[in-house]
Amino acid sequence: MEFVKRVFGFHKTPPVLVECCLFELNCIVNNVIPPKGRRLNKRFNQMKNFLFGKGESEPEAEECEELAQEIINNDVILQIIRELPLLTVQERNSYVQVVATLVSRDHAHFSSEYMVSEKGDEILSYVLEGLSDDDLSVHCGLFLRECVKSSPINNHILTTGPYLELLFTHYIFNARFDSCSDVLQVLCDLLRRNKQMVAVTLNADPDLCNKIFLWIRNLIQNGNYVVTRVIAHLLSLFLSDSVNLQITLRFLNDTENLMIVMNLLCSPYQSIQLDAFDMFKLFAANTNGCVGVKMILRQNRAKLLSFLPNFLPHYEDDTFKKEKKIVLRLLSEKAL
């Protein structure tokens, strides 16, 4: 039966399906309407049938690998991302679903090799540019978030080219809320999803680590409530994670970081204040702080001892109350 389907064209092989997909794309690019109408989304759905399985049937591993290899060999993902503005919303949705599956399952080393190659860099460049386009930002944001789930691509974005700096210093300031939210989520995923890999990478590259802390400080001070809240929460979680111990100690020995955190304690927003406190208690508990950090804490001791007892008095949380007492005790000790 399978042979009959193939002979009569009911079941396209991966090479034929990729060829048909590129034919449909070429028709769209050249504004040509094929005899049977526009069918690019149909081709994407046929790809999904290979990758997901159709109905109750499981996907065939060999066919998935073959399809992924054909997609790689013909640079299908790159060719389509170049022409993304010409696709309908439905076609873009299906396209991102195909990409997400190739990335997550790493068929034919799609995420571990292809997406970290020069062709992958070109794809990522188009995706980042799309974040600034109101019409494309949603799908490019989804595309990027799916890519960051892959440890190899995550590491590639962290360590290669301008991607990380552009996310921290440019694309996050998109006036469109959805785009800004996508970039914030990408940054959170970059630093938190593949924790062990990120810790190893940043421990091995202190300069990169310092740059990230600088960009984070700038974002916290940018005046945008949403950005400040998300980045402060990200930083609080990051510093509190044991896997990042050495990175956290580096953060705690920077006076600029301490000043930023102390300013956040005075935020008018409780959520930001709580994250600030979670970071401040690390400074107070650090017995190996540098001279500058110890001096700032000592110089501001009286103000802090007056401020903290009335800090978030209506926040009913036993752990918070206990930790506040510990911080007050640490600040009052002469050995600080």
Give the whole-angstrom CA distance, residue 80 versus residue 243: 39
pLDDT score for 34: 85
pLDDT score for 4: 39
pLDDT bucket at 58, cuts 50 / 70 / 90: confident
Contact 72, 110 (CB under 8 A): yes
Among 114-123, 170-179, 271-280, 286-295, name the one with the lowest average pLDDT: 170-179
pLDDT bucket at 176, cuts 50 / 70 / 90: confident
pLDDT bucket at 174, cuts 50 / 70 / 90: confident
pLDDT > 70 in the chain, percent: 96
pLDDT bucket at 175, cuts 50 / 70 / 90: low
Which range, 46-60, 169-183, 290-304, has the best average confidence (pLDDT)? Answer: 290-304
Neighbouring C-beta atoms of residue 98, cutoff 10 Å: 24
pLDDT bucket at 9, cuts 50 / 70 / 90: very low
pLDDT bucket at 90, cuts 50 / 70 / 90: very high
H/E run at residue 201: helix 195-204
The most distant pair of C-alpha atoms in the chain lies apart, rounded to whole Å, by 86
pLDDT score for 1: 40
Whole-number average pLDDT of the chain: 93
Residue with more model confidence, 262 or 56:
262
Segment 118-144 shows an average pLDDT of: 94
Query: What are the C-alpha distances in Å from 164 to residues 34, 154, 177, 234, 279?
Result: 42, 10, 20, 16, 24
Three-state secondary-structure class, residue 125: helix
Give 193-249 pLDDT, tens digit per residue: 999 999 999 999 999 999 999 999 999 999 889 999 999 999 999 999 999 999 999
pLDDT score for 193: 93
Report residue 183 as tokens: 């970039």
Contact 330, 282 (CB under 8 A): no
pLDDT score for 10: 43
Give 274-298 pLDDT, tens digit per residue: 999 999 999 999 988 899 999 999 9
CATH 1.25.10.10 fits 194-336, yes or no: yes
What is the b/e burial string over 69-94, where b = at least 16 CB atoms within 10 angstroms of the residue's CB? bbbbeebbbbebbeebeebeeebbeb
pLDDT > 90 in the chain, percent: 85
Report residue 18 as tokens: 């990729």
* CB hemisphere CA count around 278 (13 angstroms): 18
pLDDT score for 8: 38
Give the whole-angstrom CA distance, residue 167 versus residue 173: 9
pLDDT score for 334: 53
Segment 24-53 shows an average pLDDT of: 94
- 247-253 CB contacts, 8 Å cutoff, 24+ apart: 247/199, 247/202, 247/203, 247/209, 248/282, 249/286, 249/288, 250/206, 250/209, 250/210, 251/213, 252/282, 252/283, 252/286, 252/289, 252/293, 253/289, 253/290, 253/293
pLDDT score for 232: 98
* CB hemisphere CA count around 274 (13 angstroms): 16
Query: What are the C-alpha distances in Å from 119 to residues 6, 9, 26, 133, 160?
Result: 32, 32, 20, 22, 14
Give the whole-angstrom CA distance, residue 82 versus residue 221: 36
